Amino acid sequence: MQTEQLLTAKEVADHFRVSVRTVERWIEKGLPAHKATEIQVGELLVQKRIGGLPPKGIWVIPQSSLTDVHGIRKSVGYPAEKKRKQQGTC
């Protein structure tokens, strides 16, 4: 797979406005991803998409799997089925 079709965890985090750690949690929950090979890391360095090689390696995520994020991502906010307390009433 060409590196243009692969996104780094940092690029995915920037796209969804979350931290890289959150993207790593999504990967643990089933987001399709794999560690970059030496060739892929070299291509990412040449394209200046990464600044260097982190000690843990680099996760690359296929661009086509970004649609899976919506099924993995936790919803945030107040539960829809739960009523809010009325405040400010005496």
Structural domains in the chain (count): 1
Instruction: Tell whether 33 is covered by a domain.
Output: yes
Instruction: Tell whether 42 is covered by a domain.
Output: yes
Instruction: Tell whether 84 is covered by a domain.
Output: no
- Give me the domain span that covers residue 7: 3-64
Give the DSSP per-residue string, the chain.
--GGGEEEHHHHHHHHT--HHHHHHHHHTT---EEPPHHHHHHHHHTTS-SS--TT--EEEEGGGGGGHHHHSPP-SS-TTSPPPP-S--
What is residue 89's predicted lDDT score, i.e. its pLDDT?
A: 65
Instruction: Tell whether 20 is covered by a domain.
Output: yes
Mean pLDDT of 61-90: 81
26-66 pLDDT tens trace: 999 999 999 999 999 999 999 999 988 888 889 999 999 98
